[in-house]
Structure 1
């Protein structure tokens, strides 16, 4: 079962998109300095069932353009089902992963993908020296420049 610790509407995590974002609990990486360390326990939060997710998509229909999952790739089959449901509702999909590679079946259902572990010395997507990468998978373009402050 996928659990989530936060559900919110976000405007900055995916360029040009209004996203319904879920922080998925159970991250196995445990990056030092993680802003979501409270979500590391696998059973913390609320269950993200297919029915609940579908109702949330209907609630925000016409108001959101994307669904963002902050994690969840460690339960690929469960996440895959939700990605397909979001796409069936004509929404873009995004995954923020701390991994450099994710399962091919997940990648096939994504519009956007952020990869790379959090490293405080290198910073996040707004840092020009970050190890993290944010891709538009439709074009393969790295969109990190959209986050860097000048």
Structure 2
């Protein structure tokens, strides 16, 4: 369920905010009364900037998704989201494509490690199979004599 975040100050029911990302938290400042609210967004792989990615507006309506635990912002003029800056594992600002490429490389490395582990286990099983076959051959030879 998605809900619009509304200012909680008595006498104010504003739902338009100026946003700033600070230390893994999204700082919302009410456009009408300047009340400030903080929301944890450290689980995102990006930072939201203070302006719209299309029109440059700095005022947003902010929504919270209660089921998926997420915050979403929409420009009050054009409905677009705010600009996003992606941060890689070293803390360097990168493009979305560079972040995606880095994630794919990391995932491929994990797959390679799993394949390597499987190959080692298969080699162990093959050696065990050979040992069992040799043992059965010796048992058969002594049983037939």
The two structures share one fold, judged by TM-score above 0.5: no
TM-score (norm: length of structure 1): 0.21
Answer 1 or 2: higher relative contact order, Cα 8 Å, separation at least 6: 1
Which of the two has higher C-alpha Rg? 2
TM-score (norm: length of structure 2): 0.21
